[in-house]
Amino acid sequence: MRILLLLLLLFFSCSPERDNPYDPNSPFYQGKTTISGRVATRTGLPIAGCRITVRPIQDDRPSLNVLTDQFGRYEIRDCPVESLLIRAEKDGFVSESLLFLPLIYKEDTVNFVLEGLPKFLSFSVASYFYARHIPRDSCVLNLKAEVKDEEGQGDINEVFGVIEGLPDTIPLFFKSGFLYENSIPEESLSVSLDEICGRSLEIVCSDIFGHFVASPPLSLIRVIRNPPEPISPVGGDSVSSRPSLYWSLPQYRFAYSQFLEVYLIRPNLEPILYSRYENLPAEADSFHLPDSLIPGFYYWQIGVRDIYNNRAKSAEAVFRTGARGGQ
């Protein structure tokens, strides 16, 4: 009898406690946990609006999603206690993923550090045509982009342009601030600028970590090869200190404005821009200089610019002021 009682006691003592919340067979078992953390840049700045996705890797159950707050923090409740794939992603950053096995009834912390990608603030493509007396006329392709890296401009490796269907790779050089620019002579390209018109062109930026970011497709709209032509003064004419300038204007079949530049010629030195006048009316064929010029030799140029910043500028027209008989 004693042996039977001992066996019964041993049997009941080995039965599991069904009120144990850690027992998967217990009605009190929840099998859920909470995961929280912070998302920041490599320099420690919080990343707000970053999407955090938690997904079980063993089945197709819906994923859990949340966005980080202004401090880069997030919290996801009711995460299943099993192997999870956690992903952090936001436009402008390299996404990160990791496998994670949480502990039941314990709030786990999972932090992410995302590498920022270079960001295009602006970008443009245009053609510049310059009429010349000597040597010959010049036409260039101008590429320009403002590129910013949130973790410092030192992370930017190179900026360059590529043209659909052509082997040309056009480097853009750092100018100042966020600006990169280059003007490539037409003869340095594999085809003429007229053949580049309409082709898709992209500006690409790479960082020191090997990531590449491309601008939206650009297109060169037109090449203006017939600028206005100066009529007077030209050829060293003597004029007053506030002369009137006259030119002939071709008929253009696109919207445009005109600009005028006056340069001071200095002996044995490069000419310097003395004055510039923008947004002259499209129908104008003369302009009276509002500012007096000091005695000396000058040249002036008249140009046109369309709404896409394609431009053409006339050859230099030389004149002088301060001489007797100036008009």
28 inside domain = yes
pLDDT digits (tens, 9 = 90+) for 270-282: 999 999 999 999 9
297 and 241 belong to one structural domain:
yes
154 inside domain = yes
Residue 105, sorted as left (phi over 0), alpha (psi -120 to 50) or beta, turns out to be: left
Last residue within a domain, chosen from 97, 116, 135 = 116
Q: Are 79 and 35 in contact (CB under 8 A)?
A: yes
7 inside domain = no
327 inside domain = no
Q: Out of 7-16, 29-38, 92-101, 211-220, pick the least confident.
A: 7-16
Q: Are 101 and 79 in contact (CB under 8 A)?
A: no
Mean of pLDDT values over 63-81: 91
CA distances from 211 to 92, 156, 174 (A): 11, 10, 19
pLDDT digits (tens, 9 = 90+) for 177-236: 999 999 999 999 999 999 999 999 999 999 999 999 999 999 999 999 999 999 999 999
137 inside domain = yes
Token pair in block for residue 26: 């217990």
Q: Are 215 and 120 in contact (CB under 8 A)?
A: yes
pLDDT digits (tens, 9 = 90+) for 247-269: 999 999 999 999 999 999 999 99
Q: What is the number of structural domains in the chain? A: 3
Token pair in block for residue 74: 């997030």
180 and 198 belong to one structural domain:
yes
Indicate if the pLDDT at residue 31 is higher than 80: no
Last residue within a domain, chosen from 59, 86, 116 = 116
Mean of pLDDT values over 6-31: 53
Q: Are 184 and 160 in contact (CB under 8 A)?
A: no
109 and 124 belong to one structural domain:
no
Indicate if the pLDDT at residue 101 is higher than 90: no
237 inside domain = yes
CA distances from 309 to 184, 253, 255, 303, 304 (A): 16, 15, 11, 12, 9
- Residue 92 belongs to a domain with what CATH number? 2.60.40.10
189 and 255 belong to one structural domain:
no
69 inside domain = yes
Q: Out of 9-18, 38-47, 90-99, pick the least confident.
A: 9-18
Report the distance separating Cα 246 and Cα 305, nearest Å.
Answer: 18
Domain hosting residue 28, numbered range: 16-116
Q: How confident is the model at residue 13 (pLDDT cuts 50, 70, 90)?
A: low
81 and 142 belong to one structural domain:
no
For 88-96, which contacts have Cβ atoms below 8 Å and span 24 or more sequence positions?
88/39, 88/50, 88/51, 88/52, 88/112, 88/114, 89/50, 89/51, 89/53, 90/47, 90/49, 90/50, 90/51, 90/114, 92/116, 92/117, 92/119, 92/150, 93/41, 93/47, 93/50, 93/117, 94/209, 94/211
233 and 309 belong to one structural domain:
yes
- By CB atoms closer than 10 A (0-12, 13-18, 19+), residue 230 is buried
- What's the pTM? 0.78
223 inside domain = no
111 and 20 belong to one structural domain:
yes
pLDDT of residue 79: 84
Q: What is the mean pLDDT of the chain?
A: 89
**Element housing 114 (H / E):** strand 112-116
92 and 181 belong to one structural domain:
no
Indicate if the pLDDT at residue 52 is higher than 50: yes
